[in-house]
Amino acid sequence: MIGILDWGIGGLFALQALRRRQPTADVVYLSDAGNTPYGRQSHRELARSVDRGLGVLRDHGATQILVACHSASTVLPLLAAPDAVGVIAPEHVPRGGRIAVLGGVRTVRSQVWRRALVGHGTVVQRIAQPLSAAVEAGALDSARTRELVRRLLEPVKQADTVVLACTHYTAVAPLIAECTPGARLVDPALARAETLELPPGSGGALALTTGDPQSVNAVLEKMTGMGAVDQVVWFVRL
């Protein structure tokens, strides 16, 4: 069984990618939204949170785990987790040119992507934290979100490659593409999902959350109606 760990719902795009590759794959997803947002936790607190999340997924049968969250991936080296893989994967980013990395506060300030992309090209990082809140609220194409994307991307609109260093940003990828014409968008979580071994199973899928399932599912209904998410697995409380 494949496990996916994320703080919110952005990792669902990786789940969709997995199910498209192998529709009968068995998947268990954990959204740790009842916890303090990962980007606001100390390094030690985050390591404990990720370790707990991995344990929950293992308890539900996961034998291979994708840590879809970039913040959570920064603490994976601290954990004894040979069954887990993160999304800091520079091999999926094209070399050369101007590379814009969009991420949350922790991801950008950790410099993890800047270090990973040494030798790839000219790297510029942008903190795009407000986009995560917009996606979690289901505001994917509002005038406010469009203006937010435009303002955040203005300094990097000439980028050749844009790294979506947060799973939420895939939901507004069309808006990001509009603001960076000609750039190649790279979602490391989706790219990593393409590398996992996916043995056929029964097609079972379970979505768990430490947060409020009703709130999460209400946002998913909105996203589904907009065509942003398909193959939705409705969340139940952990």
Mean pLDDT of the chain: 94
Residue with tokens 């994708």: 66
- CA distances to 137, 157, 223 from 173, rounded to whole Å, are 16, 14, 14
- Are 64 and 123 contained in the same domain? no
Q: What is the pLDDT of residue 225?
A: 74
State mean pLDDT over 207-222: 92
Identified catalytic residue from 1, 46, 135, 166: 166
Share of the chain above pLDDT 70, in %: 99
- Are 197 and 156 contained in the same domain? no
Residue 55 to residue 108: CA distance in whole angstroms: 27
Identified catalytic residue from 9, 47, 69, 76: 69
- Are 153 and 226 contained in the same domain? no
Cβ atoms 189, 87 nearer than 8 A: yes
Q: What is residue 70's three-state secondary structure? A: helix
Q: What is the pLDDT of residue 227?
A: 72
State mean pLDDT over 88-113: 96
Is 166 part of the annotated catalytic residue set?
yes
Residue-number span of the structural domain to which 48 is assigned? 2-87+191-237
The token pair that represents 219 in the structure block: 């946002």
Q: How far is CA 36 from the centre of its chain?
A: 17
In this predicted model, what pLDDT tens digit does every residue of 123-172 receive, in sequence order?
999 999 999 999 988 899 899 999 999 999 999 999 999 999 999 999 99
Q: What is the pLDDT of residue 142?
A: 92
- Are 118 and 49 contained in the same domain? no
Q: What is the pLDDT of residue 229?
A: 77
State mean pLDDT over 172-190: 96
Confidence class of residue 230 from pLDDT cuts 50, 70 and 90?
Answer: confident
Secondary structure string (H, E, C) spanning 172-222: HHHHHHHHCCCCEEECHHHHHHCCCCCCCCCCCEEEEECCCHHHHHHHHHH
Domain count, the chain: 2
- Are 20 and 56 contained in the same domain? yes
- Are 210 and 148 contained in the same domain? no
Residue 30 to residue 107: CA distance in whole angstroms: 20
Q: Is 0.85 surpassed by the pTM of this model? A: yes
Q: What is the pLDDT of residue 141?
A: 87
State mean pLDDT over 15-28: 93
- Are 205 and 225 contained in the same domain? yes
- CATH number, residue 184: 3.40.50.1860
Q: What is residue 85's three-state secondary structure? A: strand
Q: Angle at the Cα of 161 (from 120 to 95), degrees rounded to 5? A: 25
- Are 180 and 97 contained in the same domain? yes
Helix axes 143-153, 129-136, angle to 10 degrees: 160
- Are 28 and 76 contained in the same domain? yes
- Are 94 and 176 contained in the same domain? yes
In this predicted model, what pLDDT tens digit does every residue of 69-91 receive, in sequence order?
999 999 999 999 999 999 999 99
Confidence class of residue 231 from pLDDT cuts 50, 70 and 90?
Answer: low
Cβ atoms 36, 11 nearer than 8 A: no
Q: What is the pLDDT of residue 197?
A: 92
Residue 140 to residue 201: CA distance in whole angstroms: 33
State mean pLDDT over 34-48: 95
Is 179 part of the annotated catalytic residue set?
no
- Are 49 and 114 contained in the same domain? no
Asked which of 173, 188, 203 is the last residue of a domain, the reply is 188
**176 contacts: CB under 8 Å, gap ≥ 6:** 102, 149, 153, 162, 164, 169, 185
- Are 26 and 58 contained in the same domain? yes
Residue 71 to residue 103: CA distance in whole angstroms: 9
Asked which of 149, 172, 188 is the last residue of a domain, the reply is 188
